Amino acid sequence: MALLAIQPALGILHHQHYLKTQSRGLISYVHIWWGRILMVLGVVNGGLGLQLAQESNGPIIAYSVVAAVVFLAYAGYKSLAFLRSGKGTAAGANKEVNARVPRVAADEYI
């Protein structure tokens, strides 16, 4: 629970930074990755809790299956969103490079 307590503060700092810059900063990525780490720790905690409670195999298997399905759905969604954004392709990388390269008219080469 103590690890979860800093997440709202990180969210507020992220929001303040975004309002100033209209882009993500270091605090944004800390907030995002800290949240992802906490989600994984929460799932592990649930599984360990079932073992500590000495549950039979049925609920443990059900919990594991649901956790795996949710993970696969989340990973699939994030992968699809990444590929659709163009950041995960060579064309997307070229867009970023081309955005930084100044345009020069063809007659300037002569």
Q: Do 63 and 43 meet the contact criterion of CB atoms below 8 Å apart?
A: no
Q: pLDDT 10s digit of each residue in the chain, 110 long?
A: 777 889 999 999 999 999 999 988 998 999 999 999 999 999 999 999 999 999 999 999 999 999 999 999 999 999 999 898 887 665 555 555 555 555 555 555 45
Domain residues of the chain, as ranges? 1-54, 57-101
This prediction has a pTM of 0.67
